[in-house]
A = this chain, B = another copy of it.
Amino acid sequence: MQFVVPFAAERPKTRLADVLGQAERRGFARAMLRDVLDAIRGAGHEPQVLATAPVSVAAPVTVDERPLSEAVNARIEATVAERGSPLGVAMADLALATPAAVGRLCSSTGGVVIAPGRGGGTNALVVTEPSFRVDYHGISFRDHVRAADEAGAAVARVDSMRLATDVDEPPDLVEVLLHADGRACDWLREAGFELAVQDGRATVRRA
């Protein structure tokens, strides 16, 4: 199956600005992107990056400067509506993604398969319903379930902590250090991050 991985190449991960400088955020974001591409390939699928600017990774890259939803919908139209092929969409910051988790997404049955993100987001999708379109604004998980219902498509939800964890904010780094073992986790360790306990809760500190 073809997968698109949207990637904000220019100013990624602004909500990590308290703990990472701008160049670091770019490096860390690219490490996560590569982990996501590996997980998709490991599950036997073909990832393509849909980037806002050129980016150097070992996968085909399409540059599309349009807003996220518009760019993804253009790919759904070209792949699902026009060619009749299913399309996977996975966010580029799913540093905990594994081939097994992507495999569960792809083996679920439905016109629209959704892996919700924490906080109402939509972290990964498989679309086979040709009339379905995405809208990532607001509580997109709820909106995508409604849109699939309105399209008459069966909706499947994938219950995966790995796919639910998009890495946006400092507390998410705890999850990367605990549960990931790819480039993003290596990147954090090499940058001096390690787990710590503060007031009884897990956190990260930088050596």
Contact = CB atoms under 8 A, between A and B. Distances in A.
Interface string A92-110: 0000001011001000000
A197 interface: yes
Chain B CB within 10 A, most for which of A137, A138, A139, A195: A139
Interface in A131-163: 137-139, 141-142, 157, 159-163
Contacts of A98: 159
A173 B202 CA distance: 21
A118 B202 CA distance: 9
* Chain A interface category by residue count: 20 to 34
A138 B197 contact: yes
A164 interface: yes
A201 B119 contact: yes
Given A120-B202, A175-B118, A195 B159 contact: no
A111 interface: no
6 contacts: A118-B175, A119-B175, A120-B202, A139-B195, A161-B161, A161-B163
